Amino acid sequence: MPDDTPLLSLEGITKDFYGTTVLRDVSFALRRGEILGLVGENGAGKTTLMRILFGMPVIAETGGFGGTVRIDGQPASFRNPFDALDAGIGMVHQEFSLIPGFTTTENIMLNREPSRRNVAVDLFGPRMATLDRPAMTARATKAIERLGVELHPDTLVSEMPVGHKQFTEIAREIDRDNVKLLVLDEPTAVLAESEAEILLASLRRLAAQGIAIIFISHRLHEVTAVADRVVVLRDGQLVKDTSAKGVEVREIAAWMVGREVDANARVRSDRKYGGPALEVEHLWVDMPGETVRDVSFTVREGEIFGIGGLAGQGKLGIPNGIMGLFAAGGTVRLHGKHVELDAPRAALDAGMAFVSEDRRGVGLLLDESLDWNIAFAAMQVKGAYLKRWLGGLFSLRDEKAMRALAEQYIELLEIKCTGHRQKAKELSGGNQQKVCLAKAFALEPNLLFVSEPTRGIDVGAKKLVLDNLRRYNRDEGTTIVMVSSELEELRAICDRVAIVDEGRIAGILPPEAPLADFGLLMAGERAAEASA
């Protein structure tokens, strides 16, 4: 390439949020017409990096960042996303930002409509200009042609197949005259295989026209297919920056999930399982952002079953759907008995308990005391901790029993608090999580769902929570289904780990399976390939 100055160069980008480092000294450069595949697990720092690039206000509000962003060799600091747009950087988001009742043309030209002056403009300002429809259509058609796809300029977005919506979004970004760099965040996530193919072809076309592209995707085979270079982020650090030529999907997956640590230290030889405890067939769940499309699995009695996968792929939807918190369908059987869906009470009555990932929303009564929080579910579901009067006509809380229960768990789980009367909202995140666990344990469930049990809590509390789950499983024989974004902790305590991708189970692996295999499953490769 004759021009040696890279279009975009990031130099030593560092960012921390309230003392937690999310990006450490990330540097890479991007030339014109180059496609860069940016990969990394959740929390690897991809999103933060893009926010810095776009000058999102949240970055400045949290203390700015270290390092330099250069566009065409000049240091650039954007105060808001509009500055970035003016500098020729376009972003295509994961969610569509289209107006449903507008046509392709109207959406592509949104707020950049060519217009005609008239008298009213002089009187009331430029917004009274009438739209120049033919010019709008012409420009939109040109942008669509640049993409090289079939899109009718007059189709309403609400009547389009999902692939066309994605193309409309991209066409909107490349209509800008000065667009030099396009960032696509998981553009193929909602597309079918064939649509994704067309999209990749369009990206190559755009790159050939000199537009640089940052392509973020968890589908690694797409990254290797389209990218010239691959940059891998892990835990906020750049771990690999390499030409995409000759790189195997498996290698990228291994870089992404991390070094091969010894996760097999655990002795699992003494594990014994009974028959099937929970059988799930063709489950679908309408949980916004975590849609489950078609999931089937069986958990054995006494087992700790892990469910992992990237955010937004549907792993959280599984326990929420089975527990009746979101609209769901399919078949769920517990110990052979059919469990009614869409009915939280039925799920609880069947003997299942759920420690929600939404601690403060679903898990706790924040304004109530600890003993209340711990006894509450058992009181509602089992009628425990109640004293009956007049042959059951009245029942009153059994404060003494509640207190004993709370004190038992405060000691057992080492909940740091001033006493059983302290309010739940006054506890730290880790201790709140312990209260949630205590609440579930107090139900004495025969099957326990735990969702993101260690999210947002410190290392010490993490260990305690995991140890308690393990102990509870060992001592009580309770079957546990644990959903977590942290592969390491799934591998540390589970007997089997299922990886969810795009609303389906990509595969189920033993915890001692190589990390790269887990990475492959998360990257949208199917089980057959991964276990080979």
> Which of the ranges 71-79, 173-181, 275-283, 507-515 carries the binding residues for another protein, by CB under 8 A?
275-283
Binding another protein by CB under 8 A: which of 11, 16, 25, 113? 113
Closest distance to another protein from the beta carbon of 160 (Å): 11
Token duo for residue 275: 């028959």
| Residue 367 φ/ψ, nearest 5 degrees | -90, 5
Stretch of 21-29, 55-63, 70-78, 323-331 lying at the interface with another protein (CB under 8 A):
323-331
Contact 86, 115 (CB under 8 A): no
Determine which residue in the list 294, 301, 398, 476 makes contact with another protein, applying CB under 8 A.
Answer: 294
CA distance 254 to 226: 19
Cβ at position 373, least distance to another protein in Å: 32
Q: Judged by CB under 8 A, which stretch of 30-38, 111-119, 192-200, 206-214 contacts another protein?
A: 111-119
Among 43, 329, 344, 429, binds another protein (CB under 8 A): 329
Size of the site for another protein (CB under 8 A): 42
In the set 64, 101, 210, 383, which binds another protein (CB under 8 A)?
A: 101
| Binding of another protein by 106 (CB under 8 A) | yes
Kindly state the smallest distance separating residue 126's Cβ from another protein, in Å.
7
Q: For residue 97, state whether it binds another protein (rule: CB under 8 A).
A: yes
Query: Is position 346 an interface residue for another protein (rule: CB under 8 A)?
Result: no
Whole-angstrom distance, CA of residue 292 vs CA of residue 294: 6
Based on the shown chain and the rule CB under 8 A, indicate whether residue 282 belongs to the binding site for another protein: yes
Query: Is residue 159 a contact residue for another protein (CB under 8 A)?
Result: yes
Neighbours of 122 (CB within 10 A): 10
Q: Write the Ramachandran bin of 503: left for phi over 0, alpha for psi from -120 to 50, otherwise beta.
A: left
Supply 148's token pair.
């090289």
Q: One-letter amino acid identity for 94?
A: Q
Assess contact for 315 and 283: CB atoms under 8 A: no
Instruction: Return the structure tokens found at 221.
Output: 């085979």
Residue 291 found at the interface with another protein (CB under 8 A): yes
Query: Which runs of consecutive H residues, i.e. helices, occur in 149-260?
Result: 162-175, 193-208, 220-226, 249-257
Kindly state the smallest distance separating residue 111's Cβ from another protein, in Å. 4
Stretch that binds another protein, among 53-61, 65-73, 181-189, 324-332 (CB under 8 A): 324-332
Find the shortest distance in angstroms from Cβ 100 to another protein.
6
338 binds another protein (CB under 8 A): yes
Instruction: Please report whether residue 398 would count as binding another protein according to CB under 8 A.
Output: no
As measured in angstroms, the least distance from the Cβ of 330 to another protein is 6
Give residue 202's region: left, alpha or beta (phi > 0; psi -120 to 50).
alpha
Write out the two tokens for 531: 């276990």
Residues 492, 288, 185, CA angle at the centre, nearest 5°?
Answer: 75
Provide, rounded to whole angstroms, the least separation between the CB of residue 501 and another protein: 12
Which is it for the CA torsion 515, 46, 43, 26, positive or negative? positive
* Token pair for 160: 């389009």
77 contacts: CB under 8 Å, gap ≥ 6: 55, 69
Is 313:483 a contact under the CB 8 Å cutoff?
A: no
The reply on whether position 276 binds another protein by CB under 8 A is no
Measured distance CA(480)–CA(331) in Å, rounded:
19
Nearer to another protein, 120 or 365 (CB): 120
Residues in contact with another protein, shown as a per-residue x/- string from 121 to 140 under the rule CB under 8 A? -----xxxxxx---------
User: Interaction with another protein in 60-89: which residues (CB under 8 A)?
Assistant: 81-82
**Residue 335 found at the interface with another protein (CB under 8 A):** no
Q: How is residue 425 annotated by DSSP?
A: G
Q: Whole-angstrom Cα distance, residue 111 to residue 44?
A: 34
Rounded least distance, CB 425 to another protein, Å: 27
Cβ atoms of 530 and 507 closer than 8 Å: yes
CA-to-CA separations, 158 to 262, 288, 302, in angstroms, rounded: 51, 19, 48
336 binds another protein (CB under 8 A): no
Q: Residues 503, 507, 519, 524: which binds another protein (CB under 8 A)?
A: 503
Minimum distance, C-beta of residue 323 to another protein, in the bound complex (Å) = 17
CA dist., res. 185 & res. 51, Å (int): 12
Contact flag: residue 156 with another protein (CB under 8 A): yes
Considering only 284, 354, 385, 518, the residue that binds another protein (CB under 8 A) is 284
For residue 12, the SS3 value is strand
Please choose, out of 68-76, 280-288, 389-397, 471-479, the segment that lies near another protein by the rule CB under 8 A.
280-288
Q: Is the CB of residue 281 less than 8 Å from the CB of residue 296?
A: yes
Q: Which residues bind another protein (CB under 8 A)?
A: 81-82, 97-102, 106, 110-111, 113, 115, 120, 126-131, 155-156, 159, 281-284, 286, 288, 291, 293-295, 327, 329-333, 338, 503-504
